[in-house]
Chain A
């Protein structure tokens, strides 16, 4: 009986490969949700362990990616529900330890956008990152986060609106503005 629940060797290998290949994407998502490299790494670790333990629950291999991200989301939920109050000093992360002077223009842009994303409420952040980074459809995001599609759309809307407000100063500088600046120096 026990044997009957065990997947075939090739399936198990394929599953392990899937987990290995998904790690960097899961980490990127966990990082975008927490902006804490240690916590993100732990969450991914938990996600992969849970996926291994519960691989039998995965009925449709085509839905494996959404399934993994759902586990990740639930791990984060569990973390905030039960562990927040016992955060150790190790969990406190200085996200930006470089000063703007030391950053290239591109790094500054990246930092600025990440800071803006960090300001978003987690539900909005999750929807935006799942849509934008993973390219998931709204239906898949709804499945991952276990919310209705309408909620996905409204969170996306509010999230992007907030991002726009946080990032108002990021726009290409018009030629006229540059000229005006130079004239001022003169």
Chain B
């Protein structure tokens, strides 16, 4: 009867979890045949495992409008967006203040709209700030994924805004992704090049040439603020 005390709880767990090699497994199995106490200990360990498996065997995915894995801006996404807005806001200072003053009337109407319950959001604004090809590709992949994962008959809108180093994505003489961008444009994805970033580059003497059909008329700040007020999902890549 003492025999089973040689087996530690770790060993019993390893048995239950299939971590023992065949020899050890056989030894413990034979010992449990001889010792009801050991057998009971093993049963207790296995029971805990079974209960946990049973408790989580059916965890339904939360409803999301598009049913896509990468399609909702939640708390963390909003935190990222908020961080971006704060950073931009601080850097633009008085200009941004004046700019926002000028938008008083518009903001009032948008706020009223924002108060309305939004039942279905299928609009996505992706924001590219990095000049790394991997990040740019991730944004294009993400946009492709969003389009591909839309349910049939569902109208999904995707826009991509690029600023800072991310503007390289949309510069025709720099981007390695002109083809991919054209393909996405054919699928109604709209690309925006931040007018502020273009202006800064031009002030430095850089001639900015954009890929065809890129919209250069908005700042990243304006697009992000406007689209978020309109209830779009926002994701910074």
Instruction: Identify the A interface with B (CB < 8 A).
Output: 2-3, 5-6, 12, 16, 19-20, 23-24, 27-28, 31-32, 37-46, 48-49, 52-56, 75, 79, 83, 86, 88, 90-91, 109-110, 113-114, 117, 128-129, 131-133, 137-138, 153-154, 156-157, 160-161, 163-164, 167, 170
Contact = CB atoms under 8 A, between A and B. Distances in A.
B24 interface: no
Interface stretch (B115-123, B141-149, B200-208): B141-149
A117 B134 contact: no
Nearest to B52: A132
B19 interface: yes
A48 B69 contact: yes
- Nearest first, the 6 closest Cβ-Cβ pairs linking A and B are A42-B74, A113-B55, A2-B176, A2-B133, A23-B69, A28-B59
Given A110-B55, A156-B17, 8 more contacts: A31-B56, A45-B70, A46-B76, A48-B70, A52-B138, A52-B142, A91-B75, A110-B54
B9 A23 contact: no
Contacts of A138: 14, 17, 19
B48 A20 contact: no
B56 A129 contact: yes
B34 interface: no
Interface residues of B, number: 43
Contact of A164 (B48, B62, B133, B137): B48
Contacts of A88: 75
Contacts of B10: 153-154, 156-157
A27 B75 CA distance: 16
B7 to A, nearest CB: 12
Secondary structure at the B interface, as helix, strand, loop or mixed, is helix
A42 B77 contact: yes
15 contacts: A2-B133, A6-B133, A16-B148, A31-B56, A31-B59, A40-B62, A42-B74, A45-B70, A53-B138, A88-B75, A132-B49, A138-B17, A156-B10, A160-B9, A160-B49
A111 B17 CA distance: 24
Contact of A42 (B14, B76, B133, B148): B76
B159 interface: no
A39 B52 contact: no
B61 interface: yes
B186 interface: no
B75 A42 contact: yes
A105 to B, nearest CB: 12
A45 B69 contact: yes
